[in-house]
Amino acid sequence: MTQKTITLTDNTSGKSTDFDVLEGTHGPGCIAIKNLYKDTGYFTYDPGYGMTGSCKSSITFINGEEGILLHRGYPIDQLAEKSSYLEMCYLLLNGELPTDTEASDFNSTIKTHTMVHENIRDFINGFRYDAHPMAMLVGTVGALSSFYHDSLDINNPEHREISAHRLIAKLPTIASYCYKHHRGLPFMYPDNDLDYVQNFLHMMFAVPAQDYVQSPVAAKALEVMLILHADHEQNASTSTVRLAGSSGANPFASIAAGIASLWGPAHGGANEAVINMLENIEQSGETIATTIARAKDKDDPFRLMGFGHRVYKNFDPRAKIIAKLCHELLDDLDGDQPLFDLALELEQATLNDEYFQERRLYPNVDFYSGIILRALNIPMNMFTVMFAMARTVGWISHWMEMHNDPEFRIGRPRQIYTGPAKRDYPS
């Protein structure tokens, strides 16, 4: 099959240059511009890299126009319905669903790493009582690299694998410790007789004075939430992990960089911002109409939180699944039905609004997730921690893929310089 190319013609010099078009399994091809500067003397300009392919990846595929999300080829709605979070972790890390034996071995391996060094407890207790859990999480995950000197050689595949297992196993423990510290409650050790999600709920809500009565409905809802948030291609935090890791930084430092990026309200912090927005409408008397008007006002920095997406120009398939989960669970979980009803009303109002329809702004994964998390009694300042806990497997899977990529090199974007022309220092 002949190689597809694109010809670039410089209309000042008249010189034409052909560039190869690289095609993947699904999705648009990418113009390979590795020799662009050598052949044309120009760079490209793409603020936010919205039109730039940074790597080849076989982990996740998104079709933003059609609202399609595949993980290793499997549609997200099928995974949410049929898989478990640890099976999803195996799939993202290894590329295939596990056999029963592989799944059993993987689950056992993860269980051997659920505890953290006792000094981590002291480390977390060093934070102010009112420290935001995301501040504690980003610091604590970075600090993990001070405990595992035996496995920080990023060129050693075994070191990379045990670090991935440690991160997947320890994030729930650390997340629950951040919550307990914030509440001034004693930390609960992991209970390896419980499955991954039940163990997290145990560490979050059990206290020494009484056991936590597991709710199968809550555990199932959280399992689905973790699956939906596990990975999402080259989003801001995953690209941060890849860029940090491209310098050779250890996996704990690279994941800490991803946690920092996810914290922003335009990214993973949106789930907390959505609830604040809905509560503001509920409590301030601001109507849905005035909220939407503010979101449309270019002089107002306010954006409708939970709406819009860099890639999805259709419904985020995850938002559809979470909305369905809300319908199913709010009664069982004694959830905030009025807040959910308000969210549905806000969504309906945007569907009938030209501004949102013209710009193809639909609810994203964060629009409904806060309602489920609140129904699980998870406080708002822990929402992005939950997102980070789920996305850790996606981040480390991309970090591992990058280190196995023959084209791997340190990330180093260029720029258009707009500063002063060369000048001499005053004599």
232 binds ligand SDX (CB under 6 A): yes
Alpha-carbon span 404 to 330, nearest angstrom: 44
Instruction: Decide whether 145 or 235 has the Cβ nearer to ligand SDX.
Output: 235
The answer to whether residue 336 is catalytic is no
**Pick 266 or 351: Cβ nearer ligand SDX:** 266
- Closer to ligand SDX by CB, 52 or 108: give it: 52
C-beta of residue 196 within 8 angstroms of C-beta of residue 57? no
Q: Does 113 bind ligand SDX (CB under 6 A)?
A: no
**Strand bridging mode 60-63 / 68-71:** antiparallel
Specify whether the CB–CB gap between 156 and 104 falls below 8 A. no
Our CB check for ligand SDX shows the closer of 47 and 406 to be 47
Instruction: Name the active-site residue from 182, 202, 309, 398.
Output: 309
The whole-angstrom separation of Cα 396 and Cα 400 is: 6
Q: Which of 113, 159, 267, 403 is catalytic?
A: 267
Are 71 and 230 a contacting pair, CB within 8 Å?
yes
Residues 141 and 252 sit within 8 Å (Cβ to Cβ): yes
Region binding ligand SDX by CB under 6 A among candidate stretches 16-24, 169-177, 232-240, 373-381: 232-240
Q: Which of 3, 7, 94 is nearest to 404 (CA)?
A: 94
User: Burial letters for 390-412: b for 16+ Cβ neighbours within 10 Å, e otherwise?
Assistant: bbbbbbbbbbbbbbeeeeeeeee
Q: Which of 173, 366, 368, 386 binds ligand SDX (CB under 6 A)?
A: 366
CA angle at residue 194 from 201 to 366, to 5 degrees? Answer: 35
User: Known catalytic residue: 267?
Assistant: yes
Residue nearest to ligand SDX (CB): 308
Task: Mark residues 282-301: x for contact with ligand SDX by CB under 6 A, - for none.
Answer: -------------x------
Stretch that binds ligand SDX, among 65-73, 89-97, 242-250, 306-314 (CB under 6 A): 306-314
- Cβ distance to ligand SDX smaller for residue 180 or 309: 309
The values of phi and psi at residue 8, to 5°, are -105, 125
Contact between 310 and ligand SDX (CB under 6 A)? yes
Residues with active-site annotation = 267, 309, 366
Residues that bind ligand SDX (CB under 6 A): 232, 235-236, 266-267, 270, 295, 303-311, 359, 361, 364-366
